[in-house]
Amino acid sequence: MSVFPLLKTGAVLQYPAARVIENSTCVLQFLDGTEQRFRDYQSPMRRWTVRLDLLDESEMAAMEEFFLSEQGASGSFSFTDPWDGSTHPNCSLEGDAIAIEFEDLMRGRTTLVVKENRD
């Protein structure tokens, strides 16, 4: 299984960064107005928005190569959460397209969304 690539600095992402932790609750409402609530899944789902700016050509090539090797959203890889350092072994990219912008020398930019998959 592959691992999400690191930048030359050893960082996973740059700030400002976003992490979303969502829980899913199913609500059943009965005819008498009462409700029953339960979780759809046991643990919360995590999603990270990885914004990368001021990248050089080799870092941009590594991101593009990683995206192509994962075949967009169909691949699976491990991702280390930069907030707490925990490794999530079953993650994938959200979306089947990558937008890579080269503005100037050492000024590449891209944004990827990584989501944790359910086992």
Distance, CA of 107 to CA of 40 (rounded, Å): 42
8-17, 19-28, 57-66: lowest mean pLDDT where? 8-17
Q: Which residues contact 76 (CB under 8 A, 6 or more apart)?
A: 1, 70, 90, 91, 92, 117
- pLDDT over threshold 70, residue 119: no
% of the chain residues with pLDDT over 70? 99
Average model confidence (pLDDT) across the chain: 86
Distance, CA of 17 to CA of 34 (rounded, Å): 40
Residue 67's nearest CA partner among 49, 93, 101 is 93
Give 37-94 pLDDT, tens digit per residue: 888 777 788 999 988 888 888 888 888 898 988 888 888 999 988 888 888 899 999 8
* Per-residue pLDDT, 59: 87
